[in-house]
Amino acid sequence: MTGKRTRLAVGLAAAAVALAACATNAPQDTLDPAGPYAEKIDALFKPVFWVATAVFLLVEGGILYILWRYRHRKGRERIPPQIHGNTRLEIAWTILPAVVLAGVAVPTVATIFDLAAEPPGNALNVTVRGHQWWWEFRYTDPEMQVGDNLPLVTANELVIPADRPVYLTLESAGSEFGNGLGRAVIHSFSPFRLAGKTDVIPGKTNHMTIQADEPGEYPGQCAELCGFSHGFMRFEVDALSPADFDAWVAGQKEEAAAPSGIAGDLIASTCAACHTIRGVSTAASTAPDLTHVASRDCLAGCIFPNTREELAAWLRDPPARKLGSFMPDYNLSEEEIEALVDYLETLE
């Protein structure tokens, strides 16, 4: 009975694994590279995978063969011939793995240096800040500035031009550095189809180059356990055609219209302490820049679609929607929430 049950459990687990491998809707499939940098990683990974598979089959096959060949049988009490001290054999099985490792190491090291090199001069520069638990994107090129040396800043969605390298500078933000609300911790920026993943380390600046061949949406997420809402620290890379990207930049550079009434009072008294809304208040930037929040597809670490309902639900009680959120529950009345949502929805 137990044997049957075990066999059933193993069978079901195997079926689940096999079925999971067949997902057609896999937007974060690292085996489906969508740009030249991801392709370089893929071109290294695939041959190494097959070399490792060959080694695995040889070693495991050898073990199974020896298990079968020298198994215990009645009337055969004798130990099989021992080959300890065979110099020729020992030299062979030292050199052979060394040759295989060298064969893997040469392209690996070459690819590491290739990926670490600074991209060509036409690259777009973006500083990515990992916060607990959302991503901030700061466009630092001179033509992307919005007055007084201020970079264009967005959150959750990294908008890039297609077919052009984007050189990312990765930083961990936190209260220790005065540019975040949570602790500065290790995150990992992982736009799987555009590049691998790179750790974001407090006090250290890392770099990564991404590029998308075609316009499209490329979701990614934080891939390093970074606290309560690590699992809710997603992002989206939106690659646009060059013309669409220029139009997006022009739109993002515009300032927001000033809020009035209840929304105006709340933003001045509460929201502006952490959020920037260019044209209204630029004093703080420890929470997402809201100047064009309505132009984004997703909210709060890209875990909710950007709709009226979700925005209202978020304002009603942020930590209830996202564990550990550094935006507290301000116990807003429904009237206040309605007024804020009405205003935020105008920020396209």
Rule CB under 6 A: which residues touch ligand CUA?
130, 133, 187, 222, 224-226, 230, 233
Residue 35 or residue 220: which is nearer to ligand CUA going by CB?
A: 220
Task: Name the minimum Å distance from CB 234 to ligand CUA.
Answer: 10
Residue 45 or residue 228: which is nearer to ligand CUA going by CB?
A: 228
Residue 107 or residue 324: which is nearer to ligand CUA going by CB?
A: 324
Determine which helix (DSSP H) or strand (DSSP E) holds 16, and give its type and residue range: helix 2-20
Adjacent-strand bridge partners of 237 = 158, 218
In order of 206, 255, 316, the CA distances from 323 in angstroms are 28, 32, 14
DSSP 8-state code for residue 217: E
Task: Name the minimum Å distance from CB 71 to ligand CUA.
Answer: 49
Please name the amino acid found at residue 253: K
Structure-token match 């564990």, residue found: 323
Structure tokens at 157: 């969605």
In order of 52, 58, 104, 311, the CA distances from 256 in angstroms are 55, 65, 54, 18
Task: Name the minimum Å distance from CB 189 to ligand CUA.
Answer: 9
DSSP 8-state code for residue 62: H
Task: Name the minimum Å distance from CB 220 to ligand CUA.
Answer: 11
Helices (H), 140-210: none
Residue 189 or residue 343: which is nearer to ligand CUA going by CB?
A: 189
Adjacent-strand bridge partners of 160 = 239
Residue 158 or residue 222: which is nearer to ligand CUA going by CB?
A: 222
Structure tokens at 87: 């110099």
Task: Name the minimum Å distance from CB 222 to ligand CUA.
Answer: 3
Structure tokens at 243: 């013309």
Residue 64 or residue 225: which is nearer to ligand CUA going by CB?
A: 225
N- to C-terminal Cα separation, the chain? 63
Task: Name the minimum Å distance from CB 188 to ligand CUA.
Answer: 7
